[in-house]
Amino acid sequence: MSYYQFTSNLFPGGYYPYVRFVSLYDEHAFEHEFFLRIAQSFPLIQKLVLNNAKRQQYKQSYKS
């Protein structure tokens, strides 16, 4: 499988070493912890497409 499409911010996790393209959609914002799970689950990802209706609440760029 080289393509993964999921329609929720509640990504179940797992390990997908052959997936290169991930497409995600949710009504709520994707937060930093969510991206950490994505990075661990898809180690060879080449393209990530995100669509969400709300802004991120806790941006890491604000922390010092």
- Is 13 within 8 Å of 41 (Cβ atoms)? yes
The pLDDT value given to residue 47: 92
pLDDT at 2: 72
Structural domain boundaries of the chain? 3-62
The predicted pLDDT at position 40 comes to 93
Tell me, what's the pLDDT at 35?
Answer: 86
Instruction: Please report, as a single letter, which amino acid is at residue 48.
Output: L
Q: Is the distance from CB of 45 to CB of 22 less than 8 angstroms?
A: yes
Distance CA 22, CA 7 (A): 11
Task: Give 10-residue mean pLDDT values along the chain (64 residues).
Answer: 67 86 84 87 91 72 56
In the chain, helix, strand, coil percent, each to 5?
20, 25, 55
- Alpha carbons 60 and 44: distance in angstroms, whole number: 23
Predicted local distance difference test score (pLDDT) of residue 62: 56
Q: What is the pTM (predicted TM-score) of this model? A: 0.68
CA distance 24 to 28: 11
